[in-house]
Amino acid sequence: MTDTLPSREAQAPHAIASPALPFWARPEGVTVIIGAWMLIHALIAVFFEIAVNADDAIESYMVQSLELSYVPRNPPFFDWLLYGLQQVLGTGTLSFAVLRYGLLFACAMLVYRVAQKVIADPRLQALAAFSLSTIWVIGYHSHRILTHSNVMIVAIAGAFLTLATLARRPSTGLYAGLGAWIAIGLLGKFGFAAFLGVLVVACLLEPTYRRVILNPRIGLTVLVAALPLAIYAWALHAGHQDVAAATAQTIGATGAGWDDVLSSVVGALAGYVLPLVLLMAVVFLPYNRGEGAVPEDGERRAARHVLRTIIVVGILVTLAATIAVGTTSLRDRYFHVFLLLLPVYLFAELERLGGWQRRVNLYLGLLLALSLAVMVTRVAVPLWPDPRLCGRCMAAEPLYKIQAAVAGKLGAAPTLVADDRTSAGRLRAAIPGARVVIVREFQYRPPPRPSTGCARVTGIVNGLPQLLPPAGQNTIEMSVKWWSPMMNPHRWSDWQMTILPPDDPLCR
């Protein structure tokens, strides 16, 4: 090596502060741009999307109390965060927006810090962080369906960053921090275990990172991670919650042919990496002559090798496991586990390849256009909630408009009975002060509390009149027009509220 670590670190601030370096490529510029992206999407969620989506609704139902474990399918860390926020911000869309975009901001900034360890040029470091928005699961689906996964991706980025730092500067504090990231990851989503397994394999195959794993202080990492996980394991045991059975239920039907399984894997993989890979290939590969290629030093090379191994081994393990099980239930978001840091790896390879300098502005322009298109689409859903655009359009359904009817008949602290968790969670988000329960619940049920009245509310899932049962003696019909200024005729939702006596078993 012709340069020592201290001298490179001494030169780095001068490179970052260089007048030739554009604002968007400086650390403060990256922070501002990512923060603005998050803020705009949060404002859309709060001021345009007037109801919570399906995944948020399920968590809204769960966090009516603080529990060590809610259901065996997902660990509780996301619910703990949401519960705390809702004590301050209420049960509406604001608490979900703050949590979602706080987690995504943390993930993006951690990925940026990883990029700084793997990539030399600040412009490519920034592009790697910005390119998270071209992973469709993050750039689009994360606004609608992801909850626990957002905790997991923060832990994945944090764990890898800590490992990369340990490879350069081992310390007891960092080993303890790595244990904390592991605990957060496993308490966030069980899929983190697959990332952790592949990460250890990748580190053992790379000498620099092998020393990190084989250092005796890794025992501190295990200890820090084990303490909270042991408490959670006790909660699962005490509550008779079977994680294996819940996982099998998530996997769904098994025994599919290898061709169907292969199609499922390819479809899920393509759904994750597009449009990132396509965009980079179109912009940077044609007529690339390799000018300005940057040779790697040993530290960046080692980190890139570990990333490559995680990606390759992760894909192979996924393919082998799905073929062995015979499931076609693989979803693109499951590849978060192995491909979250794909932008960092691809831009590290591009730095080695060269030929990218004159194409940066084109790539930035396409990133901006794609981000604006997603924002416009999100705004268009409540403005024009046509089923051809958004199906049930749950985020645009004005469920809050039944607040007056509920308060008038049931008081300020009612118990509402719904048909399923999604319906119950949407009711709770729309009607502050309500306790919501569902007709048949075999796992989590919110604890009882004093109630000012009780009623069963039906038609919440998508507001179709034919879903409503025949009206009874104590039934109140509620028909509400959607706020949809670009749609004529407007959509309507029909709901039904049936008053129940306080001693009804459903109200307990």
CA angle 72, 78, 79 (to 5 degrees): 70
Asked if residue 458 lies in contact with residue 496, where contact means CB atoms within 8 angstroms, the answer is yes
pLDDT in tens, 107-164: 999 999 999 999 999 999 999 999 999 999 999 999 988 999 999 999 999 999 999 9
Question: Which pLDDT value is given to residue 126?
Answer: 98
Q: What is the pLDDT of residues 99-113, one digit of tens each?
A: 999 999 999 999 999
> Is pLDDT at 359 greater than 80 in this prediction?
yes
Count of Cβ atoms closer than 10 Å to residue 468 Cβ: 15
pLDDT at 18 over 80: no
Domain ranges of the chain: 20-50+92-376, 394-507
When pLDDT is cut at 50, 70 and 90, the band that residue 396 belongs to is very high
% residues pLDDT > 70 (the chain): 93
Residue 313 has pLDDT above 50, yes or no: yes
How many other C-beta atoms lie within 10 A of the C-beta of residue 193? 13
Q: What pLDDT is stored for residue 58 in this prediction?
A: 95
How many residues does this entry show for the chain?
A: 508
Q: Which of 22-26, 399-403, 470-474 has the lowest mean pLDDT?
A: 470-474
Residue in this structure with the two tokens 């932008």, named with its chain if needed: 343
Q: Residue 97: what pLDDT?
A: 98
Residue in the structure block whose two tokens are 């957060």: 184
Q: How does pLDDT run across 174-231, given as a tens digit for each residue?
A: 999 999 999 999 999 999 999 999 999 999 999 999 999 999 999 999 999 999 999 9
For range 309-336, the mean pLDDT: 94
- Asked whether residue 324 carries a pLDDT value surpassing 50, the answer given is yes
- How many CA within 13 A on the CB side of residue 256? 20
Q: Is the pLDDT of residue 8 over 50?
A: no
pTM reported for the whole predicted model: 0.93
- Please tell me the predicted confidence (pLDDT) of residue 256: 81
How far apart, in whole angstroms, are the C-alpha atoms of residue 416 and residue 500? 10
Mean pLDDT of the residues in the chain: 92
- Asked whether residue 422 carries a pLDDT value surpassing 90, the answer given is yes
Burial class (CB within 10 angstroms; exposed 0-12, middle 13-18, buried 19+) of 440: exposed
| Statement: residue 342 has pLDDT above 90 | yes
Q: Check residue 465 and give its pLDDT.
A: 45
Share of the chain above pLDDT 90, in %: 81
The residue with greater pLDDT, 495 or 254, is: 495
Task: Report in angstroms the alpha-carbon separations of 306 from 184, 190, 300, 313, 490.
Answer: 22, 22, 10, 10, 54
pLDDT band at 461 (very low <50, low <70, confident <90, very high): low
- pLDDT at residue 144, rounded to an integer: 87
Q: Residue 3: is its pLDDT beyond 50?
A: no
For residue 419, give Cα distances in angstroms to 351, 427, 451, 507: 54, 11, 19, 13
pLDDT number for residue 467 = 54
pLDDT > 50? residue 14: no
What is the rounded average pLDDT of the residues 248-258?
77
pLDDT grade, residue 17 (50/70/90)?
Answer: very low
